[in-house]
Structure 1
Amino acid sequence: MRNEMHVAFDVETTGLNYSTGHRIIEIGAVLISNGSILGQFSSLINPNKKISRNAQKIHKIKEEMLMDQPRPEEVYPKFEDFIKYSTLVAHNAPFDMAFLRQEFHLLHLDLNHPYVCTLDLSRRRFPHLANHKLSTVHRHLFGNQQNNFQAHRALDDARMVAAIWLAMEG
């Protein structure tokens, strides 16, 4: 696995369900190869959609923060280039992948990348943990080193996913 390219990524959204019109408003990603981080990608995205109160409480992203941010059609072609030939890695990957697939579909882009879910890996590897939240798994592996991370912001969550992936599989 060390010679493959992986991209650990995370998204923040306007709500929990892409099928009811919720959209991605932030994407963060870290490129991993040979056990090293080679680059990162991060963008707020203005999908011109309301952000649910519950989502705002989680990620603290307000609609005003998105006003002057790039539109999806500006961000996703660049992200597509960033993830080229990579296996994607996410914590609760089915959620992130569903949103990302929908965004790519809306722009007629293909997303056929294989993916790995660190949530599933952690449940198998650490069944004794009280829960398998991203912060819990990171704390289990690294102690309290996550104090430099801002939880529920895409790039910092992607960095945590990358660290977990490298510790478990990289």
Structure 2
Amino acid sequence: MAPNSADSVIVLDFETTGLSPNMGDRAIEIGAVKLVNGEVVDTFQQLMNPGFRVSGFIESYTGISNRMLSTAASCSEVMDDFADFIQGSQLVAHNASFDKRFLDAELDFIGRDYTGKFACSMLIARRLIQDAPTHKLGDLVRFKNIDNDGTFHRALADSEMTARLWLLMIDELQSDHGIQQPSFQLMQKISKTAKGSIPKLLMSNRG
């Protein structure tokens, strides 16, 4: 997988018991899509048992029940496999700071690490799709007419939708701004650039 190509990445999504691993929350599902040259070449999806019951709110929000989790593998077992899956790849998530917190926490539990850097599709969409009503994943998917099956808040479905949004933004950088083969580093830079400075940044990367 080319480390500098924006269309060769792993797009991931966690479903969790809450908002903060620092407050004792754990991952309950991981989904990921591996892209190489803009094509899906592999996926990863696993439920994981956090070792305690999840709230009724989380059950209804995600559709993941305590019964489903009761037969799932442990977080440690699943995350050990996932650490192998992501090695050597750059990483993308929608609201990446959330997913990075849980990835870091779950891998820290088992003494594993990863080498890739993160890019946030939500921050990039705020700069490249400024006319969207909101920059929530579901709203962006509808606004851009991205194919979907209507399933959200399950990890693999959300990572698949994020991957399609990510590739659409790459395509628009190429078609609308003349940027050939956008790099992962450019996508990271877009996410950190003030909205008013985006036109200048894109112009400087044409060709």
Number of the residue aligned with 2:74 = 71
Stretches (4+) displaced over 4 A: none
Any residues of structure 2 matched to 1:1-170 within 5 Å, and which? 1-2=4-5, 5-143=8-146, 145-146=147-148, 148-169=149-170
Deviations 1:68-94 (A, max 9, x none): 111122111211111111111100000
Contact 1:29/1:159 (<8 A) preserved = yes
Following TM superposition, by how much is the alpha carbon of 1:149 offset from its aligned partner in structure 2, in angstroms?
Answer: 4.2
Structure 2, unaligned runs of 5 or more: 172-207
* Alignment size in residue pairs: 168
Contact 2:86/2:114 (<8 A) preserved = no
Larger radius of gyration: 2
Aligned-partner residue type, residue 168 of structure 2: A
Alpha-carbon distance between aligned partners in 2 of 1:126 and 1:54, rounded to the nearest angstrom: 31
Please provide the CA RMSD for this pair: 1.6
Relative contact order (C-alpha < 8 Å, sep 6+): which is higher? 1
SS at match of 1:169: helix
25-34 vs 66-75, greater mean Cα deviation: 66-75
Following TM superposition, by how much is the alpha carbon of 1:158 offset from its aligned partner in structure 2, in angstroms?
Answer: 0.5
Following TM superposition, by how much is the alpha carbon of 1:116 offset from its aligned partner in structure 2, in angstroms?
Answer: 0.8
- Higher strand fraction: Structure 1 or Structure 2? 1
Alpha-carbon distance between aligned partners in 1 of 2:142 and 2:38, rounded to the nearest angstrom: 20
Identity of aligned residues (%): 36
Contact 1:29/1:41 (<8 A) preserved = yes
Deviations 1:78-131 (A, max 9, x none): 111111111111000000110110000011111342011000011011122221
Contact 2:87/2:114 (<8 A) preserved = no
